[in-house]
Structure 1
Amino acid sequence: MFVLSILLLVAAVVLFLVGRGRDGSGWKIGAALSALGGLLFGVFSCVHVVSAYEVGVPVTFGKVGSPMKSGIQFKSPFTDVTSFSTRPVDLNLYDKDVVEVRSSEGGVLDADVTIKWAVMPSKAVELYRLAGSAEAVQARLVLPDSREIIRNVFAKHTSEEGYASAREQIGSEIAASIKERLAPRGIDVTAVNLRNVKPSKELQEQIDKKIQQEQATERSLEAARTAKAEAERKRIEAQGIADANRIIERSLSDKVLYNQCLEAYKEAAKANPVYAVPCGTDSNGTPVIVDNGKN
């Protein structure tokens, strides 16, 4: 715009000089209009409007100036202004951009992560020196640093912790590390969401095989415990029978047996036409049974 202003002023001077040596007011009007256009373009080249939610970084002949806030700002015609958006930006690391990480055991995992970040207006000059443009901030700073930190954090944990038991803790560690790394550079990380972690195909096969082995081992242990319990039950049962037999053997005296014999024949005589001579009447102690029904 400043170059156009100079050209219009030069054209105004030429038209004025040409018109002065000739009759007619057309040349003078053209010179006046060119001069007016040159002045307007010159004024516009000294004004820069910084949009809302943006910060401008002025650079004059290679020298970086102070950040420009939102609104109308005056500058030198030779100053270029690079704008940085201060709105939050989402960096989504999934699908083709998924982060491939390794656990402390060497297992490969795929981590889906979303990082929400924004430019700190007060640090815009430092970001310009580091990246050069708003588009380069994410490509040169946020993305590579985030990937490095995510891999480093997962490398401290086992595969099982990565996709199951310690996922929340790992997400907190990643968020804290990324914020600590990027804040001094002028990048405010507002949120880090570890959305999903899944084992690679090879690791999933190893996990399935390990689960099957553990299940087989558990079944074997359960069978061993059942057999041991059954053996113990039988041993206790046999011991009980042996103890009972010893008690009976000690308690069965002749008088007890004689009394039981009498009771048995009393019960038998009630239901059958027999009677019994008391036990122990012969030499062998065997009772004599008489069938009354045969006379």
Structure 2
Amino acid sequence: MKPHAFQSVDDGEMKIRRPMHRNDVSASFLVAIIAVAVLAIFVLAGQPIVSIPAGHLAVVDFFGYVPKDTISSGLHLKTLYAGVHTFSLKTQLMELTLNVPTNEGLIVELDVSILHRIDASMVRNLYLTVGSNYKEVVLLPEVTSTVRSLTASVASKALYSASRDELSAGIKDHLNGKLSGRGIEIEQALLRKVVLPKLVTNAIEQKLMAEQDSQRMEFVLTKERQEAERKRIEAKGIADFQNIVSQGISDALLEWKGIEATERLANSPNAKVVVVGNTKNGLPLILGDGSSNPNAHSSNAKHGAYANGNVDAFRSEGGADTA
């Protein structure tokens, strides 16, 4: 027989010992299990372990109390039911499309990109003064106000010309002056796209076309001036050539050229009439091919002879030597 557990029971002046049942033991064990489970749920619901991503920093808020020390990246134990607010220390990008004014009174559509990051030493102060939604509360309004303020002081041409770099630098310096005290650092302000009003765009295109036409006309005029200069140089060269050649021509050279011409005419197989003068340096005179009218040949020969003063050149019926 198994021994029985006994439980003391007061019954007046007598103490009666009665055995404990197995059901009473099971109930106590169940109560202990429930207590442990409730405690585990309570602990786990408080999230005692927190994981912070790389490049981030966290601030612990325990029902309004914020410790001075922040939590770096990695796994950490924290106070139960304390809130953890994570801030990224990486460079972040904010892109905006704004309708900004210029000093001409035009409204220009401008795409702006802001590269910014948070100073690690100012994370707790940023959480206490602004909160984790600092982009919507501080950064966005300051960027919008600064961009519109600076573009209103420049012409629309500065937004798409080389002056846009100066405007970007001005936006960056102006934002850093306002946000650096809160722990927000602006690394760069980029003006990505400028959309001008249609009227202004047409005017700019017409102006550029007029400038291109002016440059083209200037090129044509320059080309014509160069061509005129080339012709003057060419004419001067021809004149110099003729002057040099005329100085080299003598009477003896001309007489020799006449003799060569007479020989070539005499040896030519073509029908011709050649009148040769009787002077010392008389040159031949070609009157025709002698194929149609002999009388006309004779008349032309006589006329040529009289014109040259060579009357004695006629020795036959036509008064001309034929070859």
TM-score normalised by length of structure 1? 0.58
CA distance, structure 2, for counterparts of residue 258 and residue 284 of structure 1: 19
Q: Is the 8 A contact 2:59 2:66 kept in 1?
A: no
Matching residue of 1:126: 125
SS in 2 for 1:239: helix
Structure 1 residues 226 and 66 mapped into 2: Cα distance closer, same or farther (>3 Å)?
same
Structure 1 residues 103 and 251 mapped into 2: Cα distance closer, same or farther (>3 Å)?
farther
The one-letter amino acid paired with 2:94 is N
User: Displacement of 1:280 after TM fit?
Assistant: 3.7
User: Displacement of 1:87 after TM fit?
Assistant: 6.1
Matching residue of 1:223: 220
Structure showing greater radius of gyration is: 2
- Offset from partner CA, 1:96-137 (integer Å, 9 cap, x none): x31455789998764434345444453223213431x211x1
Percent identity for Structure 1 against Structure 2: 23
CA distance, structure 2, for counterparts of residue 107 and residue 268 of structure 1: 90
Structure 1 residues 174 and 291 mapped into 2: Cα distance closer, same or farther (>3 Å)?
farther
Matching residue of 1:264: 261
Matching residue of 1:237: 234
The one-letter amino acid paired with 2:61 is P
Matching residue of 2:59: 56
Unaligned 5+ segments in structure 2 are: 1-30, 284-304, 315-319
User: Displacement of 1:173 after TM fit?
Assistant: 7.3
Greater share of residues in helix: 1
Q: Any residues of structure 2 matched to 1:79-228 within 5 Å, and which?
A: 81=83, 83-86=85-88, 88=90, 90-93=92-95, 97-100=96-99, 110-131=109-130, 133-135=131-133, 137-147=134-144, 162-163=159-160, 182-187=179-184, 192=188, 194=190, 196-202=192-198, 203-228=200-225
Greater relative CO (CA pairs within 8 A, separation 6+): 1
**Which has the larger displacement, 220-229 or 244-253?**
244-253
SS in 2 for 1:291: coil
User: Displacement of 1:256 after TM fit?
Assistant: 3.4
Q: Is the 8 A contact 2:171 2:189 kept in 1?
A: no
CA distance, structure 2, for counterparts of residue 210 and residue 175 of structure 1: 33
TM-score normalised by length of structure 2? 0.54
* C-alpha RMSD of matched pairs (Å): 5.0
Give the length in aligned residue pairs: 250
Structure 1 residues 286 and 224 mapped into 2: Cα distance closer, same or farther (>3 Å)?
farther
**Which has the larger displacement, 157-166 or 113-122?**
157-166
User: Displacement of 1:216 after TM fit?
Assistant: 0.7
Unaligned 5+ segments in structure 1 are: 1-31
CA distance, structure 2, for counterparts of residue 177 and residue 286 of structure 1: 107
Matching residue of 1:254: 251
Q: Is the 8 A contact 1:109 1:197 kept in 2?
A: no
Structure 1 residues 267 and 157 mapped into 2: Cα distance closer, same or farther (>3 Å)?
farther
Structure 1 residues 105 and 48 mapped into 2: Cα distance closer, same or farther (>3 Å)?
farther
- Offset from partner CA, 1:251-289 (integer Å, 9 cap, x none): 444333323322222222221575845524999877759
SS in 1 for 2:113: strand
